[in-house]
Amino acid sequence: MLIAGNWKLFKGPAETTEFCRALRGSDLGYADVVVCPPYLSLAAAVTALAGTEIGVAAQNVHWAEQGAYTGEVGPAMLRELGVYGAIVGHSERRQYFGDTDETVARRVRAALEAGLFVIACVGESEEEREAGQTQLVLRVQTEAIAEAARDQRENLVVAYEPIWAIGTGRTATPDLVEEAHLFVKSILDVPVLYGGSVKPENAELLCAQSAVDGALVGGASLDADSFAEICRRSTRS
């Protein structure tokens, strides 16, 4: 069971160090754990978690190793820093920063070729779900990722994040989650995490679904006690 904490635009280096030190001393159950700080705090997390089994991943990665791409960070730079992997194609990157299925695929391919572990995100908006387009959206997004990964799928997981459940407090029902995960796996046979208002109160039920292989946690990952509780509860069933 993989539990990844996406911190988004929270926690500078000092707060990251404090959090990671607290996490080192926490009972995380039997979960495989990854934290995903902002770029500026990656080095602090790598240092604070050295010698543990807790991985550190970036929240995004560019497809080019170097070049005229102001503000971007390439895969080799992350590897040099000691970063384990990267989230790719998060809905907020698609919504606010122009990521498309094509650019997500390029990021996936470059990250995998560089030896990074990749958490590739897919998910439908509320409008798409209400229009009955959930499977169409998931198919298009997942097929792009599958084509990009090709024969390097051992370092790839998909995160299903229904956009309408991210940061809203709304959580997809276990049956809906199971259905979506099975559909994604029918296209791309890799582990699938659930992301969308995961918290200690629902982590055990969500992770008990047979097609759920872990969680991509947002707001509830910002508190060390809350995040540790999610990790423990995810492996109870």
- List, in order, residues 6 or more apart from 70 with CB less than 8 Å away: none
Measured distance CA(180)–CA(131) in Å, rounded: 16
Farthest CA pair distance, the chain: 49
Write out the DSSP string of 136-155: HHHHHHHHHHHHHHTT-GGG
B/e letters for 168-202, b = 16+ CB within 10 Å, e = fewer, are eeebbebeebbbbbebbbebbebbbbbbbbbbbeb
Contact 207, 5 (CB under 8 A): no
Measured distance CA(203)–CA(216) in Å, rounded: 11
Catalytic residue numbers? Answer: 90, 161
Contact 159, 192 (CB under 8 A): yes
